[in-house]
Each structure stands twice: as structure tokens, then as C-alpha cells.
Structure 1
Amino acid sequence: MLDRPPSSSSRGLRVVLPGTACRWARRWSPLALLALLPGCSDLVVLSPAGDVAMQQRDVLLISVGLMLLIVVPVMIATGVFAWRYRAANKDATYDPDFDHSTMLELGIWSAPLLIIIFLGALTWSSTHLLDPYRPIDRLKAGRPIQAGVKPLEVQVVALDWKWLFIYPELGIATINELAAPVDRPITFRITAASVMNSFYIPALAGQIYAMPGMETKLHAVLNRPGNFEGIAAHYNGAGFSDMKFRMYGMDQSGFDQWVARAKADPRRLDAGLYQRLEKPTEKVPVIRFATVEAGLFGKIVNRCVEPGTTCMADMMQHDRRGGGDPHSMRPGAGSPPVNDNAPQDGDKPKGALLKDPDEKGTSPHLSKDRLPGSPGKTDPGASRNRDMTALDPRFLTLPVRA
């Protein structure tokens, strides 16, 4: 409640809490501070299960410690100076003409400079050592990888709004479930189907982006079994908050049993079924596929899953040969290469942005009509804009229509 002090010299109101509320605030205020740490319920970033994440944690702790070497003394010195040179302290030396101290300047500039040099060296070395594209050379500190050990390859596809994992070595695939044996290197090959995303397992390694038409890589290893959370660390639309998956770290026998359960599922992941999975869906349950169409991940990266679509790799190879008819793939045949910046008539490009206003004409709108009932209706308030329900596993057993 609010209460005005009886003194006439008071300039405002003060808050008077009842005794019980005041005791409650003093008792639980430290816990309230923990609520300011979203996403850190178990502080997995500071206690990871993979060697790469542990090294990243060490870099974080060392960096914070180095910065505290400046922050803490400055905070202490601020309090000491404020107390020593307060107006009521008549014993403090008053020197209004003070303007320079060599020792003070040396301390002020040398300490931060040394810390910046050390942080720069740490950042440079860790950036190269923990490069996600660099294959790891150890399982953990003091345990190098034995010669002949083959990493487990996992192909990762970020869909809307779910994760597809393909194990090419095992011939299986899963939705929103990932498993790996402990102390075996893992090579992730990562891409996206529609928009950019970020693949992140805090207990395993740092995040890395997934982009359509491109492939990124991540090398990591699990050092202990457990059940870990993986997330999409980049906002990508309506179903972003539920785009999560579980990663299971197992011993080799447990991993073999998990693979056997996946192989027991009757479903097969082919290009037709993948096109269904590409559709935006939210809160998708775990789905397993006993077999996977060969080369499916390559088609996803090259944007040619749909039959009759030219793969990006083929187009680039065609351009390197000199362009021409994309169907015949013969250099110089048919129309010239498509490139608005290349001179076509004389020295002037034909790009619309470079045309003069009087050179621009009008033409009908060529955008493809939306499918009836599809999400993304132009009316912002339409209920169909949120018609993105979770996939029913039974739906995936239906025959795929051409």
C-alpha cells in the first residue's frame, strides 16, 4: 500500500509492504533472478555431453574470466573513489590541478591492451580449432580417434516445421528423432527445404545454419549417453516454437536396437512422400522410415525432388559449358545464357531495373494462382492461414498419388 511520510520535508511517496509480503520477497528474490535465464533450465551449455561443446564452453568461461579482470577492479575502484573522495571526507587530498600520472596511465591502458591481445589469440585459435567443417581428431581430451574409425553420417533437412534425419549408411530416416552411439564421430550434412534455419543441439556442439540449395557441415561427438534436446535456433514462421527434436546418446548395443526399431517400420521415404513432408505442418510426432530412396538428399540440396525439374548442379555444369538449350545440354545450342547483367543488344543490359521509365511497358501479373484451400490466403484474418495441423502417421501409409 502507499503511505505518505508525516514529515513535511518528504518529496514523494514510499511503498510500505506488509510484513508477510516483505519476508516473501526477501526469501524468493534470488530465485526470481533465475527466471531471467530463459532456455537454461538445466544449464546444459555449461555442462555439455560432447567434446566440441565442452571446448566451446571453456572458451566462453575463459573469455568471461578475462573480461572480469577489468570489470571487477573498475567496479571496486568506483566504490572506493566515491567513498574516499566524498564531500564529507575532509582528510582526502583535494588537487584541482591534477591532470596526469604516468603510472596511472600505464595501468589504465596496459591491462586492457594485454587482455584484448589474449582474447584475440584465443578467438583466432578456437575459430580454426572448432571450425564446424573441420573433422574432429579426438573423442575427448587425451583420447585421439583411432585410425580407421568411420564417422556416422547423418543428413539433416530443415522442413516447415520439423526435422528430417537420413542415415545413408543404414538406409533409414526419421522425423524429429536423432540417435547416435557414444564415442563415435558424427558428420552432419545439413540443408533446408524452404527458408533458412539453424540446427542446434546445445549438449553436442554449436549451432550452424541450414539453407535451401546449399549444404553446410558439422562434425561432433557424444561422450556420454543421455536424452538431449535439439532446437531450431532461427525464427522461421508460425511453427517455430514447436520445431524441436530429441537426440539420444546410446552405447553401440542400444543404438543397434534403435536402428532395428526403425527398420521394422513399414514406411518408405521416397520423393513423392518427401513432397508431402515438405508441406508446412506443426507439432509433428516422431516418424520412422525403414528405407529411403537412394540419392534423395542430393535431390533436396539441388532443388530437383519434383519430377521433371532440372537439378542445380546440372544447370551450373550446363552454364560452365557455355549455356544453350538446357534440355539438350549442348554448348551454344538454343537461346543465350540467362543473365540480365550480360550485354544483349550493344552495350546496354536488359535488366528492368536499368531501363528508363519510357522503356518499361505493362504486362499481366504472372504469379501462379494459389491452390484452393491452401495456407497463405491473402485475407489476413482467414482461418486457413493457421490450417497447419500435425501429420497423422497413418496419413503417411497412404499410396502417393502422381
Structure 2
Amino acid sequence: MLAAGGPIMAQERHLFLVVCFVMLFVIGPVLLLTPLFAWYYRLSNTKSVYRPEWAFNWPLEGFIWIPPIVIVMVLGLFLWNDTHTLDPYKPLVSDKPATRIQAVALDWKWLFIYPDAGVATVNQMVFPADRPVHLDITSGTVMQSLLLPRLAGQIYAMAGMTTELNLAADHPGDFSGENVQYSGDGFPHEHFPVRALAPGDYAAWLAAARADPGRLDLAGYKRLAAAREVSGPRLFGTVAPDLFHGILDQTMPGVRSADMTMKGMK
């Protein structure tokens, strides 16, 4: 989080630092007053006052209640604003169209489909660094959670449902992604490289991906999903049209993704 690689994580880092600063007003008095009280009321201090009948004190009550109330109000103000600003479904403002990627969580690997380019990757996500990225996310197995630590926060992937995530990279670079929801034996190995490329490099990568002889259709997807683990990244130069919705229909027959998005759930 502290080494933000994009605008979303930069905003989350700012919120984290604000919360840490505000919480100093909670932990600071505790750290200072605890040893002070222990020292003042030590057994050898005969000047400390013993008040067995003491029960109430207005200044002390104000000190106990007013600062926490102010702290909660300040945190609530920041969190309310940033919760809406950092809504994962909210598209990023840009003069360039977003790169669309459809992510599918499997045992124990990630499938990334590029519907506009007609290619797919396994255990590798690649996108251009000069524009936003829009992710549609689902699971072909148990519930998992996608985390791109330096680019965006985590969001869940659930079978038969679609969640969304918008992000961008500030510059070309290598990042990482992983599943952070325990999902069985292969969970410790379910992480993958994330590459943000310069426009020219991304165009060259797309050309190389399209030249790959691999083809992914619904039958191929079922074989891929049945494989317990896949070693290293894989490419598919051809992807069947609307494969993502076909995967959704496999886990929730007859229900389309538009009917089962987390944004529309009550």
C-alpha cells in the first residue's frame, strides 16, 4: 500500500495515513498516561491522594467522552467521502477508453480474458499503463478474493455472480496479484505477475498473444478448470466469443451476469 503503483492505491494510502494520524489522539494519551499513573500511584509515593468515596467528576467525564466523539465524527467524515470516491465499480476518469479484462478464479489459478482483443492468459495479467483498466470478476469454483496490492484493494469473486474493479498504473512496471481467500490445497501458490506495459510494448504483446496457437472455448475452459494447478503463465491466441457469460451460465444456469451483479444486490 505504501508503495502505490496507481491512483487508486495512492488514494487508499492517503486515507490510511489520515486514519493513523487521527488514531494517534487515541493511543497517544494511553501510552503517555499509563506509565505516568503507574509512577504517580506507586506504593512508595505517600503524597498520592486516596479517595475511596470519589465517584464523579465533570472535567474527567468530558475528557473521557468528548475526544472519542470528535474522533469518530472526523473518521466518519473521511470514510464517508472516500468510500464513495474509492467505489470499485466507479470508472476512472480518463480521455482514453478503459482496457476491459474478464477475470475468472479457478483451482488454483486465474484466467484473464481480453474480450476486445480476443485473447486470454492464465496466471498473468497484462495491460497498458497509459489508460484505465476495467475488470469483470467471477469464480468458476469456490469464493475467492482478488488482490492487486500496489494497484487496488481486494474484491471477492463468486460463482454465478459478477463483481467489478477499476484501476490504473501510473507508469510501466511489474506488480503482483493473488487470491487472499483460502480456497484449498493450492491456495499458497495462487499468485501471478501483473505487468503494466508502455503502449508500444502492449501492442507488441497483443500481437504475440494473437499469434499463439492456443484456442479457448467452453470445452477448453472445462479442461482448464479441471486441472488442479497450472505451472507458469499460458496464452490463448483465440477465445470463443462471449466465453465469460458462458462460464457464468455454467455455475448459474439461465442467469446472466447483468442479473447477478453485486452492485444490484439488495
Letter of the 2:57 counterpart: S
Does 2:3 align with 1:51?
Answer: no
Structure 2-normalised TM-score? 0.91
Give the 3-state SS of the residue equivalent to 2:153 in structure 1. Answer: coil
SS of residue matched to 2:250: coil
Match of 1:217 in 2: 164
1:125 is matched with which residue? Answer: 81
Are the equivalent residues in 2 in contact too, given 1:155–1:165 (CA < 8 A)?
yes
Please tell me whether residue 111 in structure 1 is matched to residue 67 in structure 2. yes
CA distance in 2, matches of 1:282, 1:84: 62
Shift of 1:98: 3.0
| 5+ residue gaps, structure 2 | 260-266
RMSD: 1.9
Question: Quick one: distance in 2 between partners of 1:49 and 1:225?
Answer: 9
Q: Which runs of 4+ in 1 moved over 2 A?
A: 90-101, 309-314
Check whether the contact 1:303–1:312 (CA below 8 A) recurs between aligned residues.
no
Does residue 172 (structure 1) correspond to residue 119 (structure 2)? The answer is: yes
Q: Which amino acid is 2:153 matched to?
A: G
Are positions 1:311 and 2:247 aligned together? no
Pick the aligned partner of 1:152 from 64, 79, 99.
Answer: 99
Q: Which residue of 2 aligns with 1:233?
A: 180
Query: 1:234-253 residue pairs with structure 2 within 5 A?
Result: 234-253=181-200
Does the 8 Å CA contact 1:268/1:289 hold for their aligned counterparts?
yes
TM-aligned CA deviation for residue 91 of structure 1: 3.1
The 3-state SS of whatever aligns with 2:152 is coil
CA distance 1:76–1:310, change in 2 (3 Å): closer
Gaps (5+ residues) in structure 1? 1-44, 138-144, 317-402
Which of 105, 109, 130 aligns to 1:162? It is 109
1:21-63 residue CA offsets vs partner (Å, 9 max, x unmatched): xxxxxxxxxxxxxxxxxxxxxxxx2112011111112222211
1-side partners of 2:230 and 2:55: how far apart? Answer: 66
C-alpha distance in 1, partners of 2:211/2:191?
Answer: 24
Do 2:130 and 2:199's aligned partners in 1 also have CA atoms closer than 8 Å?
no
Q: Verify the 8 A CA contact 2:245 2:256 in the aligned structure 1.
A: no
Structure 1 equivalent of residue 28 of structure 2: 72
SS of the equivalent of 2:42 reads coil
Q: Aligned with 1:173: secondary structure?
A: strand
Cα contact 2:248–2:256 (8 A) shared by 1: no
On the 8 A contact 1:239/1:283 being kept in 2, the answer is no
Give the secondary-structure state (helix, strand or coil) at the position aligned to 2:213.
coil
SS of structure 2 residue aligned to 1:104: helix
Q: Distance in 2 between matches of 1:242 and 1:283?
A: 10
Query: Secondary structure in 2 aligned to 1:278?
Result: helix
Corresponding residue for 2:48?
92
How far 1:310 sits from its partner (Å)?
Answer: 5.6
Residue 94 of structure 1: how far off its partner (Å): 3.7
- Match of 2:138? 191
By how many angstroms is 1:283 displaced?
4.5
More strand as a share of residues: 2
Deviation (angstroms), 1:183: 3.2
Aligned-partner SS, 1:109: helix
TM-aligned CA distance change 1:310 to 1:211, over 3 Å: closer
CA distance in 2, matches of 1:46, 1:136: 21
Report how far residue 224 of structure 1 moved: 2.0
Higher share of residues assigned helix: 2
The code of the aligned residue for 1:311 comes to G
Q: 2:240 aligns with which of 293, 299, 311?
A: 293
- Once residues 244 and 310 of structure 1 are traced to their aligned partners in structure 2, the CA distance between those partners, rounded to angstroms, is 29
Structure 1's 300 and 283: CA in aligned 2 closer, same or farther, altered over 3 A? Answer: closer
Contact map agreement 2:146 2:156 (CA 8 A) in 1: yes
Aligned identity (percent) is 39
Q: How many residue pairs were aligned?
A: 258
